[in-house]
Amino acid sequence: MTARSRSIVSRQTGPHQDLARRVARALEHPLRKPLAAHTREAFSGARDWLERRGGAPLILDAGCGVGLSTRRLAEQAPDAAVIGVDRSADRLSRDHGRLPDNALLVRADLVDFWRLALAEGWRPVRHYLLYPNPYPKAAHLKMRWQGHPVLPVILALGGRLELRSNWRLYVEEFALAVTQATGVAAEAQPLVPGEACLTPFEQKYHASGQALWRLVVELPHAPGLVPGGALPAAGEDA
Ligand SMILES: C[S@@+](CC[C@H](N)C(=O)[O-])C[C@H]1O[C@@H](n2cnc3c(N)ncnc32)[C@H](O)[C@@H]1O
């Protein structure tokens, strides 16, 4: 990975005008997408692993890429169980040495993994969304987590939710969505990583002189936010 990285280019100059409508829709309409069998299997492995950690507080690293942040978070919190989830087998397979015993990397689709986690009653104490894909085209709002139908599930899991991005607007939109959905105040703040970058993308953007942004919010565990419950109704499964 080189140290040069281009800033996000988008025709959007402010929060997407359709954001509030999409959030309202996610709060009203159940997400019916069937659960993929491979993510069910991956989740069941993660659940077994977590059970063996004997009630250790859970930290989720959602979209962990190569898993460096998962490793670092596990090293910083040896009493916690840290689960990194990413759908890219290629990224997850890059060898960065032995993982700490309290860390697990899982290949899964987050949209399904989050729903299974909520249905299982997981309550992460910390939940990281580190440099999610920005999808800067306005037409792709629904692919950003704040415009995605899975948003209520992300928020319902609760805990200390931290989003980081090199695109300020992404964090600002996410803040608006958090407040609309939960009533909890949230705002984008500048992030100066100092010497220790948490992820390779953070390292790359920082080394390229880009400004970094983050949002940190404490959320209650609130399964009632999710219309129709966390999982698709019987008969809608894959
Ligand atoms: C821009 S990368 C950031 C990776 C890492 N957090 C970092 O900062 O270095 C975004 C990551 O999110 C993952 N991702 C995007 N959508 C996903 C989904 N629905 N389920 C699982 N992983 C997803 C991608 O595979 C990719 O590794």
**Residue 199 within any structural domain of the chain:** yes
Compute the residue count for the chain.
238
pTM: 0.95
**Residue 7 within any structural domain of the chain:** no
Measured CA to CA in angstroms, residue 100 lies from 69, 76, 90, 108 at distances of 12, 11, 20, 20
CATH number of the domain to which 142 belongs: 3.40.50.150
Rounded to whole angstroms, the maximal C-alpha distance in the chain is: 51
Ligand 1 pocket, residue 114 CB under 6 Å:
no
**Residue 111 within any structural domain of the chain:** yes
**Residue 1 within any structural domain of the chain:** no
**Residue 165 within any structural domain of the chain:** yes
**Residue 225 within any structural domain of the chain:** no
Instruction: Name the closest-CA residue to atom 4, ligand 1.
Output: 65
**Residue 146 within any structural domain of the chain:** yes
**Residue 14 within any structural domain of the chain:** no
> Alpha-carbon torsion 216, 218, 221, 224, what sign?
negative
Ligand 1 pocket, residue 67 CB under 6 Å:
no
**Tens place of pLDDT per residue across the chain (238 aa):** 445 788 888 888 899 999 999 999 999 999 999 999 999 999 999 999 999 999 999 999 999 999 999 999 999 999 999 999 999 999 998 877 789 999 999 999 999 999 999 999 999 999 999 999 999 999 999 999 999 999 999 999 999 999 999 999 999 999 999 999 999 999 999 999 887 899 999 999 999 999 999 999 999 999 999 999 999 876 555 5
**Cβ contact 27:93 at 8 Å:** no
Token output for 117: 């986690």
Q: What angle do CA 9, 14, 17 make, to 5 degrees?
A: 115
Ligand 1 atom nearest to 88, measured from its CA: 25
Q: Total structural domains in the chain?
A: 1
Domain that holds residue 39: 19-218
